[in-house]
Structure 1
Amino acid sequence: MTSKPAKISVQGVTKTFALGREAFTALDDVSIDIADHEFVTVVGPSGCGKSTLMNILAGLDTPTSGRALVDGVPVSGPGPERGVIFQQYALFPWLTVRQNVEFGLRTTGVPKQERRARAEHFIELVGLEAFADALPKTLSGGMRQRCAIARAYAVDPSILLMDEPFGALDALTRVKLQEQLLRTWSRDRRTVLFITHDVDEAVFLANRVVVMAARPGRVYDVVEVDPAVVRDEAFRLSPEFAALRNRVWRSVYHQEGRTAALSGSRTDTPS
């Protein structure tokens, strides 16, 4: 009996970029398997290739060597089974919240009545029902990101690829969206790969935290988080969270005996 393939499989991926006459290696022989319904976060120092890895999985870039697979099929470009959410929101400014959420459904030919029903469902899911007819410019940063999440969910992807989606938000909004994302994930159990530079965020959200090392980018450590743990304020303040956080912190900041600076670090100070 053969085992079921991983939902996402990164197999020996190396990515190099030409820099004048030289080559820069962003990823070096990276291998990661992510099971169906798993929530995995990736954290690491600046230049470790987090976003490059995300772009390869999204089908927006190709590896120099190795391969990335989804459901056992090599990634050769973007696909509807992968919803991608970036830090920059990427909303159409001339469309309302509802129209933004309906956009992907319209381009795939979903009938108007079904399109509207699905959009309304996901707008309510992210708590924007009172702003369905608002334009993005009238929304806060957190509300725009919730709209982007609703739009990604509306096309019913089995995988969510999230590249620092809360990185530009204030601390309180960030915490609220983390908790909302986990509530949504607990209902439908999509497979999530979440890139972040925030150690606390990485530990709070994940079943597994993948720590990357830089220059060249590679997997440095993998930290397991008990999936049975309830992710709430009590967990954030618990000794268990502190222990996990400190392990990830040490892996990121003291790789191979050297200090690595996280890009955009703000509040992640060691206990």
Structure 2
Amino acid sequence: MSPKISFRDVVKTYPMKNTTFTALGQVSLDIGDREFVAVVGPSGCGKSTLLSMVAGLVEPTSGTVTVDGAPVAGPGPDRGVIFQQYALFPWLTVRGNVEFGLKLAHVPAAERRRRAEHAIELVGLADFADALPKTLSGGMKQRCAIARAYAVDPEVLLMDEPFGALDALTRVQLQDQLLDTWTQERRTVLFITHDVDEAVYLAGRVVVMAARPGRVHRIIDVDLPYPRTEEIRLSTEFARIRNDVWTQVYHQSPAGSAA
């Protein structure tokens, strides 16, 4: 079966004064349909650049990035992007924010309302559909952003540190909410995070990146069953995988040296 997302020999460079900075160097990676993949690594390893390439916001200097075998040529409704910043319109209600992308796509009003209500229900905000963003907590704002992405019915969800600005308790609650939603409506998820525990808890595979230049250092399978529970988070197997990922992230050999 062909991969849903594919990176092939991807290089990304940026011009600098009298030199060139290589953000990504020869990255090759396949992500399967409906797979949940988390990417972790040290700062500057190119995690967000990878995601931005799939979103169509950044072009590779060389190599190819494809979705369903077609080269990414720009943003598209088949890919929903969720950033750390909520980017909600403050004058629109939760429902209005969730419907916004559908309105741009000229979806008829009745269908727009149906799809928005379904997405709002999925993320547990049905009681707040008529609330303005200023009345919502940070976690609720992020759930609204997730609902907005779901409403346009993307095949791929691209999530760049979506819970990074939240407190620890809200972060754990939204991790569970995300997995509940993903279990109900399986989509391909590429999830960027600095949090090793979060990566292991959410993903079926964890891609560990190395920096200077950014490259795939190791891919670790997370052989833990879904649905993920508090018992799994506290299990010895979770701790073993978490320690393996942690070691790969924070005890890497310098670029260019032997592994």
Give the TM-score normalised by the residue count of structure 2: 0.96
Partner of 1:264: none
Partner of 2:229: 232
Q: Which of 106, 129, 132 is matched with 2:129 structurally? A: 132
Q: Which of 26, 29, 32 is matched with 1:29 structurally? A: 26
Aligned identity (percent) is 71
Q: How does 1:96-245 map to 2 (within 5 A)?
A: 96-226=93-223, 228-245=225-242
Which amino acid counterpart does residue 55 of structure 2 have in structure 1?
A: A
Q: Which blocks of at least 5 consecutive residues in structure 2 are unaligned?
A: none
SS of equivalent residue, structure 1 residue 186: helix
Which amino acid counterpart does residue 228 of structure 2 have in structure 1?
A: R
SS of equivalent residue, structure 2 residue 253: helix
1:227 is displaced (CA, Å) by 5.3
1:170 is displaced (CA, Å) by 0.4
Go from structure 1 to structure 2 and tell me whether the alpha carbon gap of 1:225 and 1:172 turns closer, same or farther (over 3 Å shift).
Answer: same
- CA distance in structure 2 between the aligned counterparts of 1:51 and 1:81, rounded to whole angstroms: 19
Partner of 1:84: 81
Partner of 2:249: 252
1:241 is displaced (CA, Å) by 0.3
Go from structure 1 to structure 2 and tell me whether the alpha carbon gap of 1:233 and 1:227 turns closer, same or farther (over 3 Å shift).
Answer: closer
Count of equivalent residues:
255
Q: CA-atom RMSD, angstroms?
A: 1.1
1:229 is displaced (CA, Å) by 4.6
- Runs of 4 or more above 2 Å deviation: 227-230
Q: Which blocks of at least 5 consecutive residues in structure 1 are unaligned?
A: 259-271
Give the TM-score normalised by the residue count of structure 1: 0.92
1:91 is displaced (CA, Å) by 1.2
